[in-house]
Structure 1
Amino acid sequence: MPKSIVVPEGTSKPIAPFSPGTLADGVVYVSGTLPFDRNNDVVHVGDAAAQTRHVLETIKTVIETAGGSMEDVTMNHIFLTDWANYAAVNSVYAEYFPGDKPARYCILCGLVKPEALIEIATVAHIGRP
């Protein structure tokens, strides 16, 4: 099956060997997205809500670059470093998914940079190109 790599304009070079997104057979797979700026530094240190918003905006950009929208999201994989941030994350998350909610899971783990409080990977079904 043919696939295409999705790299929004202005995307910085990833810190590991991956692409921001991959489109295959009408499905966009968005890599684990951390609250990084263009230099791969963590933004909004200590603020889980602001980091969540930054991550979801980045994901939105990948999906829109592939031709979809946040309404096309069918699954989110959420990684948190502290359950104390769960309510703040959910508050921002609900803004991005106001209607029917995509499936998701949320786990507690360590992330690649200690200042990062959240990472989200996403799947969106945008239809066939």
Structure 2
Amino acid sequence: MPKQAIIPPGTGVPIAPFVPGTLADGVLYVSGTLPFDKDNNVVHVGDASAQARHVLTTIKGVVEAAGGTMDDVTFNQIMLKDWADYAKINAVYAEFFPGTKPARYCIQCGLVKPDALIEIASIAHVGKKA
């Protein structure tokens, strides 16, 4: 099965050996996405809502670069630094998924940079529609 790296225009150099997305057989796997600018600095320090919006906007860019839309997202893996931010993040999440929601899970854990409050990885089916 051939795979294709999905790297939207303007993407910075990752802090580890990965690409923003990988497309294989019409399924897009979006790497864990943190609230980073193109230089891997955390944006919106201390603001979980703004960080969630930044992360989901970044994911949207990867999905669109693969030829899909956010309606094609079928699964999200959400990592939070603090459960106190859960409601704020859910409010922003609902803006990006207003209709039928994707399946997901959410865990609390430490993230790669201390100022990051959220990380999301996604799966989307962007292949041929029946």
Give the TM bin, normalised by the shorter chain. Answer: over 0.9
Question: Shift of residue 127 of structure 1?
Answer: 1.3
Read off the aligned partner of 1:33 and give its amino acid letter. Answer: T
Distance 1:16 1:41 in 2: 14
Alignment of 1:1-129 (within 5 A): 1-128=1-128
Read off the aligned partner of 1:65 and give its amino acid letter. Answer: A
1:29-71: CA deviations, max 9, x gaps?
A: 0000000001100000000000000000000000000000000
Runs of at least 4 residues off by over 4 Å: none
Read off the aligned partner of 2:20 and give its amino acid letter. Answer: P
Question: Shift of residue 6 of structure 1?
Answer: 0.2
Q: Does structure 2 retain, via aligned residues, the 8 Å contact 1:25–1:128?
A: no
Read off the aligned partner of 1:87 and give its amino acid letter. Answer: A
Distance 1:39 1:73 in 2: 27
Q: Mind listing any 5+ residue stretches in structure 2 that lack a counterpart?
A: none
TM-score, reference length from structure 2:
0.98
TM-score, reference length from structure 1:
0.98
Partner-residue secondary structure (3-state), 2:127? coil
Distance change >3 Å, CA 2–CA 128, structure 1 → 2? farther
